[in-house]
Chain A
């Protein structure tokens, strides 16, 4: 029981990170119907920016008060990563707007290769270790197992991750459902041509979609950095594939679905590693995706596709 609760906490933390990345995939898919393969690498870019900002603030400028430092790191990472997201869209996707479907997919894969290698060349191929900055946590429960006493703990970092994910999600939901920008975004998602006819600036809305997705991915990158303490230029690929899996699992195009899918993938991965083998955790996640899709072909919360003749 205690072990289960501990894994649940870990799974929710990991799932939050996946969920935040998955939102970027699902929003882009919803609005222009393409798989933005470079999104995982935007997440990686975000974590590198967060790392550099953190080092500037602590070692160069000598800030010591951690909450303020972390807040500044998050904001800087979101802003700069958003610029990356915007540029990627502008360079690789906008020229292909309205082209056939595989073209932006190929530029997305190309962009992903470019971003990975750019970071590898400029920052080096070695992993960057950052010692844990926030120590300690709250003990939820203690118990006794055959192997000895077991303590269920939720670390402060995990709490920060889960709480800030909830806050971000709430804010984001408000943004999508209440603001003019969100309205434009939903309109474009339903029917780009009609939205354009009604005076929505489609190009601007799509750009802002990429900006928002990149900003959320930057937060995920920051969390990944703080939680695991090691990043390298290659983390974007696996995280991106998992997050995309999460988006598909939840029903691509659906925002709550992305979050739900992210949490599920995180939980599956953690529970599989906890109870079975660590090596096959990705296999478990991918297999569950395949099984869910066979029975629910449009994901958990996705709208069923209407076939028009």
Chain B
């Protein structure tokens, strides 16, 4: 990228190497066609093609639906929906052509934008009689304008990025590092007082928000745990949820069979059992490379789930295990009356205390995971992991026992999964195989990759964006006012999937694209994206 620039070492500006350069070009840094005239014919043609494709794709799915009727299956038609879909794609593509794909002159952009907004208004207003018509016209105008505004900002930002790439502004590295450290401290402080912030500012929804914070922290912890396997050791694990399940079921079974086992006793046991499973699975399969390892770990995840589902005598099958004890605070239970937490400390009893306590447990567990990972990275074993990720043959030549190195990564990752699992069990008070499907593994892996580069803070950002965002969709009741008969909750996973694709296409390396090296010789240099073989699975 900066091959012609001799004054500044390339590695300090940007990731070196062809791969990163290619990604940058794809991200829109190449000239986007000649400025000036806008080729309306070409734009219309490509919009027509896109609309035709949309019609083909949507014909059987939006255009009609198969419904169960007394006499067998019948078809019902939604031609209007099909027309809407095609029209949206046609005019939306036109808009993209004008704003993103070409640097069209302002007049062409204005025409495309106005047409698009009019189409959206027409769609919103069509077929709705009565007094709400005016409202819907307004909503249509706002929606259309919103899309145009977003595209305009994106177009501006991209042209800005283009000029920046040409002038090669150099970001001062030390200042950036200082900023990052400050941001980390602020984040930690916020995380530490978050429950009190929630109870102070949102007393009406405190339980819901603390629950959400617990959920996000659980995924942060799982992400950090998987990061040891994927980000540090570079092994692609598609069955991480298996260890989560082992942890959850260990605690559930131990606590329901033995009265004296509470959360704090079961926690290390669950971690150990999960780590043992990591070893048992890892031992035969870690000789496999890349995708073979991926499919075997996926298969292992499914095997665990199927066994939990069908071993009725042991796991109670699909009904799951209930009555799992809640964690205690040094023996104090979170109950009303004497001997409880509130009574002991002389404060007023509230159900929220238990949720706050759960939040602090998962926060501490997650921070322990993070701390251990950061420390391990500096130990010989951590360096061996990272070396193994980059080049297995070199590692073997240097006398590193690759099997043992991989096994420790697998087992330690599994152990943290087990911790998280046993926390999950105590939080829910109930476990069933339903909670440990492949989609969970996929979400955790997605968080690690979307975070980027095996970055610890990236995992946090990705969890907050993906998990928090998706749970926030539950609260969008006002959407029902705009689109009657549409339940936004239904669209959660669809939006989740689309967001995964969009973020990955937008930033193929994840949200954080450089990392600090674990070990340095004399001076610290940023590690570029393409120098990390994350998940290559040697």
Q: What residues make up the interface of A, taking CB atoms closer than 8 Å to B?
A: 29, 35, 48-49, 51-53, 55-56, 59-60, 80, 83-84, 87, 91-92, 95-96, 98-103, 105-107, 109-114, 116-119, 121-124, 126, 128-131, 237, 241, 244-245, 248, 252, 277, 279-280, 282-283, 286-287, 289-290, 293-294, 297-299, 305, 307, 309
Contact = CB atoms under 8 A, between A and B. Distances in A.
Interface residues of B, number: 69
A100 B505 contact: no
A277 to B, nearest CB: 8
A52 B75 contact: yes
Nearest to A76: B60
Contacts of A114: 494, 497-498, 501
Contacts of A105: 236, 449, 535
B439 interface: yes
Given A52-B64, A100-B509, A112-B497, A297 B289 contact: yes
A102 B534 contact: yes
A279 B306 contact: yes
B30 to A, nearest CB: 13
Given A92-B501, A92-B504, A110-B497, 7 more contacts: A48-B60, A80-B59, A98-B19, A99-B22, A103-B508, A109-B445, A117-B491
Interface stretch (B1-9, B294-302, B416-424, B472-480): B294-302
Given A280-B310, A293-B292, A117 B497 contact: yes
Interface stretch (B66-74, B166-174, B211-219): B66-74
Contacts of A59: 74-75
Top 9 nearest A-B pairs (CB, nearest first) are A110-B500, A113-B497, A286-B299, A114-B497, A117-B494, A99-B508, A279-B310, A110-B501, A102-B535
B500 A113 contact: yes
Main secondary structure of the interface of A (DSSP, over half): helix
Given A87-B57, A289-B295, A297-B287, A106 B449 contact: yes
A29 B178 CA distance: 43
Nearest to A84: B57
Contact of A96 (B298, B299, B496, B504): B504
Contact of A286 (B19, B68, B302, B493): B302
B66 A128 contact: yes
Given A130-B73, A294-B287, A297-B288, A110 B504 contact: yes
B61 A283 contact: no
Contacts of B289: 297, 305
B238 to A, nearest CB: 9
B530 interface: yes
Interface in B484-503: 490-491, 493-494, 496-501
Given A98-B22, A118-B61, A35 B294 contact: yes
B200 to A, nearest CB: 37
Contacts of B73: 51, 55, 128-130
Most buried by B among A52, A106, A245, A299: A106
B500 A106 contact: yes
A290 B496 contact: no
Nearest to A248: B295
B26 interface: yes
25 contacts: A55-B74, A80-B57, A96-B504, A96-B508, A99-B509, A100-B529, A100-B533, A100-B536, A102-B230, A103-B449, A103-B504, A106-B446, A106-B504, A107-B504, A110-B504, A112-B497, A114-B498, A241-B438, A245-B299, A277-B310, A283-B306, A286-B300, A290-B285, A293-B285, A298-B292
A237 B305 CA distance: 15
Contacts of B500: 106-107, 109-110, 113
Nearest to A115: B497
Most buried by A among B19, B56, B299: B299
A282 B23 CA distance: 40
A116 B61 CA distance: 12
Contacts of A56: 75
A290 B66 CA distance: 40
A49 to B, nearest CB: 5
Contacts of A244: 295
